[in-house]
Structure 1
Amino acid sequence: MPNSSFFTPHSSLSAAPLVTIVALCHNHAPFVREALDSILSQTYPNLEVWLVDDASTDGSPAILQEYAARHPTWKLLLLPENLGNCRAFNLAFRQSSGDFVIDFATDDVLLPNRVAQQVAAFQAAEPMVGVVYSNAEPITEDGKLLSLHHRLASHGELLPRPASGWVFAEVLRRYFISTPTMMMRRACLDQLGGYDETLAYEDFDFWVRASREWQFLYLNEVTTRKRKHPRSMSSRAYQRHDPYLASTIEVCKKALALANGPIERGALATRLRWELRQAVRRHRHAEARELFRLLRQTGPPSPLDWALAGWSHLYTL
């Protein structure tokens, strides 16, 4: 997307669609100032900001209150009990008005042109594009750059390979989207009813449901810094007693109901095999048996699939 298409702080507000940023915070005190300053640094002129604290037990609420007081147009929700990302996001989203929406975790950082670049991409795209996502820079807990989410391989291709258009089979088959980089069309979120509040995390379920009805567009720009630290949601996946694997199984059930034809069922089988191996490696044997049951509904299991399922069954006898 050429820089000439970006909005600047002097652009006409009447020509700039409203963009909602839902800034979700849970115990992000070491990072939240940098995150909120990155909202203030946006070159895009027409923002609606919701600050949502999901019952933090550190100093985060005081910092959010400070920023809300300094910026009276920003809305503040201090939740008295921890609701989890899906419910906390929905609370703000359903009160918001933006044509486009960013779900922004306050341990991450928005680069200054982030909103302007993605709005320009939406405006140049077809109306059935529901999501624009992009490249990201993973950073350490103390802010050191690591690499890129989509890295240029020796043969000249980005890895993981981005996909644009009708990507339903691709989101079933593999992980390739950096979740913090997504900007979502409000109409897409409205059609889905927001996030599924019964789940422990939102992105896989959103990708599956959204990509069945809406196109996705990859913008080849670095727009976001994604922080990796031990308290992040992604670092807790597959740990003993974590709720994320159970949510993944529920999303796979939805995907099975939505999948049409051998290509999409084969893509889901690839995902289920990967999840089955993760479950067995981490001794999540009840979940492994459920994943195998779903896998059998996509087509004939392989000998290794049978072996993994049998081992999980014997482990619990």
Structure 2
Amino acid sequence: MPMGLYLNRIKPWVSVICTSFNQQAYVEQALQSVIEQDYPNVELIVIDNGSTDGSADRIAAFMQHHPSIQFIRNPVNVGLNRAFNQGLALAGGRYVIDLSADDVLLPSRIRKQVNFFEELAGPYAVVFSNATYIDPTGRDLGTHYAVDANGNALSAIPSGNVFRPILESYFICTPTMMMRRDVLNELGGYDETLAYEDFDFWVRSARLYQYAYLDEVLTLKRQCPGSLSAQVVLPDNTLLQSTLAVCYKAYDRCTTPDEYGALAKRIRTFIRKAFYAEQFDLALKFGDLLRHIERPGFNSTLILGLSRFHLPVNKIYQQYLKFYPVGQSAKLV
């Protein structure tokens, strides 16, 4: 159906941008979860980002039954952020969902988030929700926010002005977000110079706009080996360099002592992560940024000092993680 302006006012269209890279085992389920939404005005844009495992062929076969899907088939991997921006350039919906090809939307997600968005008053850019984590086989691993018997989050989830909370900790489950397309366009989409998208998008958008939490599990988030959060401990990962760039963006946007304090806490965490990943020069760069905010404490000073000796700590750290796996707080951001 054409997305005329009138129809978009009556029942807003939603653009689901699904990016896929070597996820042939899951991509059909992800696409089917969009098709099975109980909300009528949904367009699906799929970008295969140079997969070598047959994912693109699975998508093409799926499209035989759903020809309205828009499909971009990249011959090589152009990076997650650029691939998403390719889809964003085609999107016509008022709202956008960034869907990884191994995640699943529950059938009522789009309807409930659109209805919630439309009831909000004020400069809201994002509606986000709770999620259930699943393993590669689909087994339930628990929820992002702990819930009571009725499925409601046990703790208060930040809403409204969330700039300081997003500096403090990883609290938004990224694939649960529904975003306003005009805000994404205003920001120039995702930053294609970075290795990942969420922390940067939060920093840039939360300074200008508000976020709202819808207290329901509406997404299944798959935990797979080789995910970004697992790669952050590897010596050759590019994620930490991207995080340093985003921390500088955040520093330029902080306006209150509480915000600078929250950023300092984040920087201290990434001094440790860079050290454990044996990216010692990067740890020192995080330390330089920290000194713009505060004098490093004992622990940070110790790690920064040890970074100058280039100690072989990564293998020991990875062995430690096998015996003492970290929780949600050790995710990428």
Q: Is contact 2:23-2:102 (8 Å) kept?
A: yes
Q: Is contact 1:161-1:176 (8 Å) kept?
A: no
- Which residue of structure 1 aligns with residue 293 of structure 2? 298
> Is 1:150 paired with 2:125?
no
- Which residue of structure 2 aligns with residue 236 of structure 1? 231
Q: Is contact 1:238-1:245 (8 Å) kept?
A: no
Work out which of the residue numbers 74, 79, 83 in structure 1 matches 2:74: 79
Work out which of the residue numbers 255, 272, 277 in structure 2 matches 1:277: 272
Q: Deviations over 1:8-41 (max 9, x none)?
A: xxxx886210100001110010011111111111
Work out which of the residue numbers 157, 160, 165 in structure 2 matches 1:165: 160
Q: CA separation in 1, counterparts of 2:242 and 2:155?
A: 24
- Which residue of structure 1 aligns with residue 124 of structure 2? 129
Q: Is contact 1:238-1:244 (8 Å) kept?
A: no
> RMSD of the TM alignment (CA)?
1.9
Q: Deviations over 1:140-193 (max 9, x none)?
A: 011001100001489x99477521001111111110000010000112101111
Letter in 2 for 1:77: I
Q: Is contact 1:21-1:101 (8 Å) kept?
A: yes
Letter in 1 for 2:113: Q
Cα distance change, pair 314–14 in 1 and its aligned pair in 2 (3 A): closer
Letter in 2 for 1:130: A
> Is 1:65 paired with 2:65?
no
Instruction: Tell me by how many angstroms 1:237 deviates.
Output: 2.0
- Which residue of structure 2 aligns with residue 313 of structure 1? 308
Give me the TM-score of the superposition, normalised by structure 1.
0.92
Work out which of the residue numbers 231, 244, 248 in structure 2 matches 1:249: 244
Work out which of the residue numbers 21, 32, 35 in structure 1 matches 2:16: 21
Q: CA separation in 1, counterparts of 2:95 and 2:152?
A: 30
- Which residue of structure 1 aligns with residue 115 of structure 2? 120
Work out which of the residue numbers 104, 107, 124 in structure 1 matches 2:102: 107
Percent identity, aligned pairs only, is 40
Aligned residue pairs total 304
Work out which of the residue numbers 113, 134, 137 in structure 2 matches 1:139: 134
Instruction: Tell me by how many angstroms 1:284 deviates.
Output: 2.2
- Which residue of structure 2 aligns with residue 191 of structure 1? 186
Instruction: Tell me by how many angstroms 1:261 deviates.
Output: 2.1
> Is 1:262 paired with 2:257?
yes
Runs of 5+ in structure 1 lacking a partner? 1-11
Runs of 5+ in structure 2 lacking a partner? 1-6, 312-333
For the residue of structure 2 that corresponds to 1:310, the secondary structure is helix
Q: CA separation in 2, counterparts of 1:204 and 1:174?
A: 10
Q: Is contact 2:152-2:215 (8 Å) kept?
A: no
- Which residue of structure 2 aligns with residue 3 of structure 1? none
Cα distance change, pair 28–276 in 1 and its aligned pair in 2 (3 A): same
Consecutive aligned runs of 4 or more in structure 1 exceeding 4 Å deviation: 156-161
- Which residue of structure 1 aligns with residue 37 of structure 2? 42
